[in-house]
Amino acid sequence: MSTKTDVWQGTLALMILKTLEALGPNHGYGIARRIEQTSGNRLLVNYGTLYPALLKLEQEGYIASEWGVSDNNRRAKFYRLTRAGRKQVERATHEWEETTAILARFLAPDEAS
C-alpha cells in the first residue's frame, strides 16, 4: 500500500472522463475501481474525493447521471459522457500530451538539445 501514489489534483477529472469514454456509462464505484486497475494498481483513489469530482464534472456539463441497476442487481447512480464531455476528453488529452512531451524534453538526457 505504501508504494501507491495518491491521485494528483486535476488529473482525476481527466481519468474519470477517459474511463467513461472507454467503458461507457458506469457508477462511481466502478469508475474508481477501473482507474485503480488501469494504473496497474499503482494509484490509490480516495473514494471520498471521487464524488465531489463527479459532481463538479456534472455541474460543468461534461457528464450526466441517472439512477440504474448494476450488474449484480444493486441500485446505483450511473454516469455517462455528454457531447461536451467528449470534446473535453479530446482537448484535455491533447493538452496532457503537450505537457508530457515538453516535460520529457527536460527530463531526457542532454543529446536532445
Partner 1 sequence: MRSLRAWLLRIRATLSRSAPDDAHEELTSHLQLHIDDHVRAGLTPDAARRQALLALGGMAATTDAYHDRRGLPPLESGLRDARHAMRILRKNPAFALSAIVILGLGIGANSAMFSIFNAVVLRPLPFAEPARIMRVWQVPPPQLFPGRRIFAVSPANYLDWRAQTDVFDHTAIYGFRRVSLTWQVDPEALLAAAVSSDFFNVLRVTPLAGRTLGPGDDEPGHAHVVMLGERLWRTHFGSDPGIVGQPITLNDEPFTVVGIIPQRQALPDNAQLWIPLVWTPQDRAVRSNHTYLVIARLTPGVEVQRAQVELTTISQRLAQHYPADDQGWGAVVLPLQEDLVGAVRPMLVLLLGVVGLVALIACANLANLLLARTLGRAKEIAVRTALGATRGRILQQLLTESLLLGVGAALVGLLIGQLALTGLVHSIAQYLPRAAEISVDSHVLAFTFALAVATALLAGAAPAWRLTRTNPNDALKQGLGRTGSPSGEHWVRRAFVVTEVAFALMLLVGAGLLLRTLSHLRAVDPGFDPRNLLTMTVELPASRYARPAQQVRFFDEALRRIRTIPGVESAAGIDSLPLDRLDGGSNLPVAIDGRPVRPLSEQPVVAARVITPGYLRTVQMKLVTGRDVAVSDVLDRPAVALVSQSMARQLWPNDSPMGKRLRIGLISNVPREVVGIVNDVKLASLDVHDVEATVYLPLAQVPTPFLSLVVRATDNPPERLTPAVIQSIRGLDPGQPVRNVLTMDDVIGGSLERQRFAMRLVTTFAGLALALAAVGIYSVLSYTVSQRVREIGIRLALGASTRDVLQLVMLDGLKPTFLGMGIGLLGAWALGGALNRFLFGVRAHDLMTLSAVSLIALAVSVIATFTPALRATRVEPSLALRSE
Q: In the bound complex, what is the minimum distance in angstroms from residue 43's beta carbon to partner 1?
A: 13
73, 9, 71, 3: which is closest to 41 by C-alpha? 3
Residue window 49-78: x/- pattern of binding to partner 1, with contact defined by CB under 8 A: x-xx--xx--xxxx----x--x-x-xxxx-
CA angle 36-31-84, nearest 5°? Answer: 125
92 binds partner 1 (CB under 8 A): no
SS3 of 71, please? coil
48 binds partner 1 (CB under 8 A): yes
- Rg from Cα positions in the chain: 16
37 binds partner 1 (CB under 8 A): no
**10-29: which residues touch partner 1 (CB under 8 A)?**
27-29
Burial class of residue 57 (count of CB atoms within 10 Å of its CB; 0-12, 13-18, 19+): buried
Interface residue list for partner 1 (CB under 8 A): 27-30, 33, 46-49, 51-52, 55-56, 59-62, 67, 70, 72, 74-77, 84
